[in-house]
Amino acid sequence: MDRFQKIYSQGVLTTFEIWVDRETGVNYLWRHDGSSGGLTVLLDENGKPVVTKI
């Protein structure tokens, strides 16, 4: 089983994806634009990590 699962994707040249860590449930936002990209923990309105119940 893969540890991370992509649950959302938007865009073509500039993409936004949401990935879930299947062990912890923590959600991550991945943004890719051309030859660069970045990954960060997805936060809720209170500044806490978004966690999906596994």
Phi, psi (5° rounding) for residue 24?
-110, -20
Q: Which amino acid is at 41?
A: V
Give the end-to-end CA distance of the chain in Å, rounded to a whole number: 14
Q: pLDDT tens, 4-34?
A: 999 999 999 999 999 999 999 999 999 999 9
Contact 16, 27 (CB under 8 A): no
- Token match 């073509």: residue? 12
Q: Is the per-residue pLDDT at 1 higher than 80?
A: no
Contacts with 11 (C-beta within 8 Å, 6 or more apart), sequence order: none
